[in-house]
Amino acid sequence: MTDICIHGLGYIGLPTATIFAHSGYDVVGFDTNPEVVSTLRRREVHFDEPGLQQIATEAIDSERLKVKSEPVSADIHIICVPTPFDDTKKQADLGNVAAAGRTIGNLLKEDDLVILESTVPPTTTEEVLQPQLEKSGLVAGRDFGLAHCPETVLPGNMIAELRENDRVIGGIDRRSTERTVELYDSFVEGEIRTTENPTTAEFAKLAQNTFRDTNIALANELAMLADEYDIDSRKAIQLSNHHPRVNIHHPGPGVGGHCLPVDPWFLGQESNNLNLVSTAREINDSMSNYTIELLGEELGTLSNSRIAVLGVAYKGNVDDTRNSPGLKLARELQARKSLGVNEVTATDGGIDDIDVRIHDPCVSDQTLDLVPLDEAVRGAEALVLTTDHTEYAQLSPTRMSKLMDGNLILDTMAHLNKNEWSDAGFNYRQI
C-alpha cells in the first residue's frame, strides 16, 4: 500500500494517522516535540479522546503506524501542524506550515502527493506552502500533486467524525484532486465534495465555523436583550426555532476550542470587509464580562468574595482548554479588585483580590491550579458553571448548599435543572 507521512501528531494528526493505519496504509507519524514522540512510543496518547488510546495502540503494535522524530520520504505527505493565532494582529501564524513545506521539499520525489489538512487562511496552500515545496526544483501540478483537505472533527467524537463527516477537497489541478479523493475514499463514509482549487476549500472550512460563531453571537445578544425584558431567552429561542427557516444556536459564556474563536479572523485577515464577523467575535469575547456583570448584579460586590468556576474545558466531557470561556472568566475575575453592580472600580485601599477557585473533572493540567470540587465550593458566595460536563448535571443542590456560604448559581450553559436548584433555596440565574 501507499506510504504516508503525517507531519504533526496533535489533536488532528494523531487520530488521522491511526485511521489511515487501520485502513491498511503504512504510516509514519512525525512530530518535532520529543515528549509527544516518547509518549506515543510508550503506547500512550498525550491527550484525552474517547477511543483513541485503543486504536493508536493497535496501530503501533501492528507496525502500521510508526512514530518518529524525523520526517521520512513517502508517497503521500499530510500536513496537520498547528496554525497559532496572533491575537494582537488578528492573523494566523503560518510558520509551521512553511516549515513543513521546507521539510517535505527536502524529501519530495516525482509523483508524490502533498495534502494540507491544517486550518489556514485562504490562499495559504498556493501562496505559502507551494513555494516552499517547489524549492525542491519540482513543480506542483506537473511533478507532484498538491491539495487542501481541511479537517472538520469535534473533540470528544473525533474517531467517528473522521469516518462519517463529509470532506471537501481542492487540488491545484484535476489530478491532484482525484488522487486525494481516492485516498480519503478509503475510509470516509460521508460525501467527498471537490472544488476547483485549494483556496475554495480553505474558504469553505472557515465559512462553516464563521457561521457557527456568528450564530452564537446572535444568540448571546438575544440573551442579553431578553434579560432586559425579564424573559427566558432560551425559551424564546426555542419557540423561534419552530419556524422551518430559523435555527438560532444556544447562548452561553462565549466560544472556545481552536476553531470558533479563531477561524473567523483567518477568513478575512487580508480583507477590509470583515464587519459582521468582527462584531460577532467582539460579542462572543465579551461574554465573560457580561457574566461578571451578572455576578455583580446579584451579589452587589465581588470584593473579597469567593467564586467557584466549574469547568475550564471549552466543551463538555473533554480535557481541551484551548480558548476556554471558563478559563477566560476565571482569569478575568482573578484580575479584578472590586466589582460594583454596574462598574468595576479599583481603589488604593488594598482591597483583596476575589478568591476564585476552579474545578474541572476532565482537565488535569497542573499549571491551572485546579482544586477538588469540595474545596472549590466550600465557602463560596456563588457557583458559575461554564462547561456542560455530565458530572456537573449530577451535582446535588442540597450538598452544594451545605458547603457554600452563599446561594447564587449562575448556570451559563443552562445545564442544570432550574426547578431542582431553586427548590433547594438557590438563586438560580442562567444566560
Instruction: Name the grid cell of 370.
Output: 485546579
Candidate list 259, 315, 328, 362, residue with the active-site label: 259
Instruction: Give the orientation angle of helix 276-285 with respect to helix 198-228, to 10 degrees.
Output: 50
- The answer to whether the beta carbons of residues 29 and 17 sit under 8 Å apart is yes
Give which of 2, 6, 4 is closest to 32, Cα–Cα.
Answer: 6
Q: Is residue 80 annotated as a catalytic residue, yes or no?
A: no
Angle formed by the axes of helices 52-61 and 13-22, to 10°?
50
Distance CA 362, CA 387 (A): 10
Which among 66, 80, 205, 362 is annotated as catalytic?
205
Rounded Cα distance, 153 and 403, in Å:
39
Residue 315: active-site member? no
Helical axes 276-285 vs 287-299, angle rounded to 10°? 40
Closest alpha carbon to 340 in 286, 287, 379, 292: 292
**How far apart, in whole angstroms, are the C-alpha atoms of residue 117 and residue 415?**
34
Supply φ then ψ for residue 115, to 5 degrees: -125, 130
Spatial distance between the Cα atoms of 73 and 75, rounded to a whole number of angstroms: 7
Reading phi first (left if > 0) and then psi (alpha if -120 to 50, else beta), residue 187 is in alpha
Read off the amino acid at residue 132: Q
Which residues carry out catalysis? 205, 259
